[in-house]
Structure 1
Amino acid sequence: MLHRILLGLSLLFSLALTGQTSQLETALFQLPDVIFKSMETPAGYTAAYELHIKQPLDHNHPEKGYFYQRAYLSHRGFDRPTVICTEGYDRPNNRNYELSDLVQGNQIDVEHRFFGTSVPAADIFDYQYLNLEQATADLHKINQVFREIYQGKWLSTGISKGGQTTIFYRYFYPEDVDVSVPFVAPLNLELEEQRIYTFLDTVGTEACRTALYEVQKEVLKNRDYALPRLKWYAKGAGLNFTYLSLEEAFEYAVLEYPFSFWQLGGKCEDIPKKGDGKEAALEHLMSTSGIDFFADAGMTGYASHYYQAGSEMGYYGYNTEDFKGLLKALPMEPHPSAIFMPEGLPKTFDGKLVNAVAEWIPANADRFIFINGNADTWSATAVRPTEGIDALWFFLEGLDHGKARIRNMKPQERAQMVSALERWLEMEIE
């Protein structure tokens, strides 16, 4: 008898899901400018679709052409909140965000314009339309279109550059979402952020910082040992160096080393000691920063990212003062930049927007939750707490760029976050 009851309940549940999927697909067919196809459903959802959404190249002048922006919809229920994930790069696969699981919400994961497949055709491709005003207008259109289906509470979230997008999205469209949760999101105010230098000069212990510096010096002093080995590594890995020479890439990797060490959660006890020799120093440095990022594939793969950093989002550079006489391919002054602007485009940074956002946040960023790791290099330029607004800031102790997440919060931190979300969303979170 019990078996029959369970079988009947299972059948009813299956029919309910089938009916909801059919209802969802009917609703998707009615949305303007949306092409969709079914895909494998992630655990915890009832249906999932890859979307291609028609977007104007220029939202102010739609007659200039259009492209299709890739996104992914994961559906839980029409009565659930909806989380729009504001990616900063390409999104080749559907990714499940912690916030979506926490609130048991639907999720729309949106690839950033000019990344991945979300790129205009060659005849209308123009970097002037890769700016935050246009990128957030893409998100606004998606929000307005999908509100026809999801009429409850909306949240936005993103990680790293995607978290930056979350902040800018709320700045341009403050009414689109009820809550914004950017993870490890810097707000850089300069082309060469001085706060990064301050962080690298003060983070951790003096002994750890000195150990990193000794590795850098050891590698640079032994470039005749390092470069032939890197040449063979590059050949085996299929890396090409035409935008930068191999020697330039080598020196960039050396300068990048402490930034990457702290961003990626390096352990001070793993740093080779001063007497461990050139082989140990080179191996640890290359496993931490490496030359792959500075090869041709890195230059082209991150071209749109570099354009945004160099034009309006700001970034960082590399101090050279401590390497006098050790750099041969890169200049001592001006400081080498971590921005590699696409070929033929100058760095014409305009900091008006980022500084306007920095001034807007202290008075207007209600219902924000800023989550950072205090050991992450990017925490140097994270949004700082201010009084007078209904928002939360977390600088998670000892956590880096990849670990500053909800799953790694202390119980009291998670409870504080959940309490705020329940109040703002007017719902209970289990």
Structure 2
Amino acid sequence: MHSWFKKGLTAAVAMLAITGLAQPVASAAPGGAPEDITVALKKIPGLKIVSEDPAPTGYRFFKLTYTQPADYTNPKAGTFEQRLTLLHRDVTAPTVMFTSGYNVSESPNRSEPTQIVNGNQVSMEYRYFTPSIPAKTDWHKQLTIWQAAVDEHRIVQAFKSVYHANWLATGGSKGGMTATYFRRFFPNDVNGTIPYVAPNDVVNEHDSYNKFLSKVGDPGCRDAVKAVQRDALKRRDELGGLVKQVSDQKGYTYNVVGSLDKAIELIITDTYFTFWQYQPPTECANVPKPGAPAKDLYAWFEKVDSLTGYADQEGASTIAYNYQASYQLGWYETYDAHLRDLLRYPGTFVPWTFLPKEVKRPKFDHFAMPDIDFWVRTQAKDMLYVYGEYDPWGAERFAPARFPWSDNHVYTVPKGNHGAKIAQLPADQAAAATATVRKWAGLPEQAPDARTFSAPSAPAGFPQFDADLMMIDRPKF
């Protein structure tokens, strides 16, 4: 065990004792009647009900804040208010702990595991995403995967005083990474973990992504996307005029990346990755041919990877992610060999390019991800990973332990992208994965029979697509 981890763990245990986690909360009012959930929530130390908002029939939806220490290794660092939401159905139902790894959604959406188990859902905003930021920031000490894992641990333990049934953890993309890290540091907090499309960058700047991208999908589609990238770079002045017009209308600036021209080049360079990340194979037919009208080319980029995406105003919400990628999470190599003769800013598609000057670039932590990877490969249990066959982020994926007692699973959605879900798997695999999730939730398993499986349907009032399962935004997680 690394000395930094032992020191942090000791301090965290002390802090948790000071803050008094998981104090018992009464589950019934006098006379044996069920206690109203608002009464139970108000008994959780540090939890504040901000509002109760409309929710579909049979559910209640709360916006909350929870007081968290800014630094679990330093009790003098103060506290901050972390945003949460709660979708409540029944205190006797299973509960799913969800995070996107970014901001928390303020809508009563349900992650897929919550749909499968018809449970409650607690959703957490990741620390350092607005407004869940300490008044006095210390990025290097406070914005680490371990500090965030302790945040999640405290929340789960606090809510277990109300929700006594089984708990699951989940998240998509960076949220799937977060769910994995949470389980690594607190393996006994939940009964099962379901990470979706979670990258596993064990060795930073490894070429696994480029190898994947060179073979993904149909060769004709790969060639078409490469051709439109080259065409866009050759016509950057023409496209730049359109981008400037839109930017002026919206008040966009490009001080962080350095210039509008550089921002456009970075977007175009990364479009190949983004296309395969989010677009279905049917979109291959819609890739513009070289020489297409500028307005058609601009419209295509708006759908795939907006040319204004690296404006200061667009990137402000993901500065914390770019810091983490620069510090612990890692990054992917740029797939740009076919573009290098057209580039004016080669080698600048790196996470620290997107950090404002007031945020100092950190020294990369080469121990954090190998530690996670080793734990997942050797000690993890009750983990179910879902990936998309065409999703570039799956080029380096988690490979959980395969011991008889591990009960770990990895599924891949055929031709799936960064929105891959259990419901998109072949019917027999979807049924088996659903049965596993239900088992971990303490519910009767559904037989893995392709003839009886159907995807969970949304009750009245819920959208069929639960948007807060994925952070479909820049950057690519």
Structure 1 stretches of 4+ with a deviation exceeding 6 A read: none
| Structure 1 equivalent of residue 365 of structure 2 | 350
Distance 1:161 1:319 in 2: 21
Larger Rg: 1
Whole-angstrom CA distance in 2 between matches of 1:383 and 1:308: 19
The C-alpha deviation readout for 1:216-245, integer Å capped at 9, x for no partner, is 111112223222222112223332212220
Alpha-carbon shift at residue 252 of structure 1 (Å):
0.4
- Structure 2 counterpart of 1:304: 320
In structure 1, runs of 5+ residues without a counterpart are 1-18
**Structure 1 length-normalised TM:** 0.88
Measured at CA, do residues 223 and 25 of structure 1 come closer, stay the same or move farther in structure 2, by a change above 3 Å?
closer
Work out which of the residue numbers 253, 265, 271 in structure 2 matches 1:257.
271
Aligned AA for 2:223? T
Distance 1:301 1:290 in 2: 16
**Residues 301-322 of structure 1: CA distance to partner in whole angstroms, max 9, x if unpaired?**
2111101111001122324433
- How far 1:277 sits from its partner (Å)? 6.2
Alignment correspondent of 2:138: 126
Cross-structure match for 1:46: 59
Matches within 5 A, 1:166-315: 166-244=179-257, 245-266=259-280, 267-274=283-290, 276=292, 280-315=296-331
CA RMSD of aligned residues (A): 2.1
Per-residue CA deviations over 1:378-397 (Å, capped at 9, x if unaligned) read 11122246532311111101
The alignment covers a number of residue pairs equal to: 405
Corresponding position of 2:425 = 409
Q: Which whole-Å CA distance do the structure 2 matches of 1:164 and 1:310 have between them?
A: 16
> Which is further off, 172-181 or 111-120?
111-120
Per-residue CA deviations over 1:106-165 (Å, capped at 9, x if unaligned) read 1111111111221111xx122120111110101111111111111221100111111110
Q: Could you tell me which residue of structure 1 aligns to residue 16 of structure 2?
A: none
Q: Is the 8 A contact 2:130 2:317 kept in 1?
A: no
- Shift of residue 188, structure 1, vs aligned partner: 1.5
**Would you say the 8 A contact 1:374–1:396 is kept in 2?**
yes
**1:411 shift after superposition:** 2.2
More helix per residue: 1
Assess if the C-alpha contact under 8 Å between 2:380 and 2:401 holds in 1: no
- Identical positions, percent: 29
- Which of 90, 102, 119 matches 2:116? 102
- 2:28 corresponding residue in structure 1: none
Q: Give the aligned residue type for 2:414.
A: E
- The one-letter amino acid paired with 1:304 is A
1:369 paired with 2:371, answer: no
- 1:172 to 1:377, Cα distance in 2 relative to 1, 3 A: same
Q: Gaps (5+ residues) in structure 2? A: 1-32, 447-477
In 2, Cα distance between equivalents of 1:86 and 1:222: 40
Higher relative contact order (CA 8 A, sep 6+): 2
How far apart, in 2, do the equivalents of 1:85 and 1:219 lie?
39
SS in structure 1 at match of 2:444: coil
CA distance in 2, matches of 1:410, 1:299: 37
Evaluate the alpha carbon distance shift between residue 28 and residue 86 of structure 1 in structure 2; reply closer, same or farther with a 3 A threshold.
same
Contact 1:163 / 1:182 at 8 angstroms: preserved in 2? yes
Q: Does 1:152 align with 2:165?
A: yes
Tell me which of 378, 390, 395 is aligned to 1:380: 395
Shift of 1:280: 4.4
TM-score (normalised: structure 2):
0.80
1:275 Cα shift?
5.8
Aligned partner of residue 214 in structure 2, secondary structure = helix
Question: Is the aligned partner of 1:420 residue 2:420?
Answer: no
Q: 1:390 aligns with which of 383, 391, 407?
A: 407
CA distance in 2, matches of 1:396, 1:183: 11
Distance in 1 separating the partners of 2:303 and 2:38:
47
Alignment CA distance shift 1:275-1:47 (3 Å): closer
Q: Report if the CA contact (8 A) 1:89-1:116 is conserved.
A: no
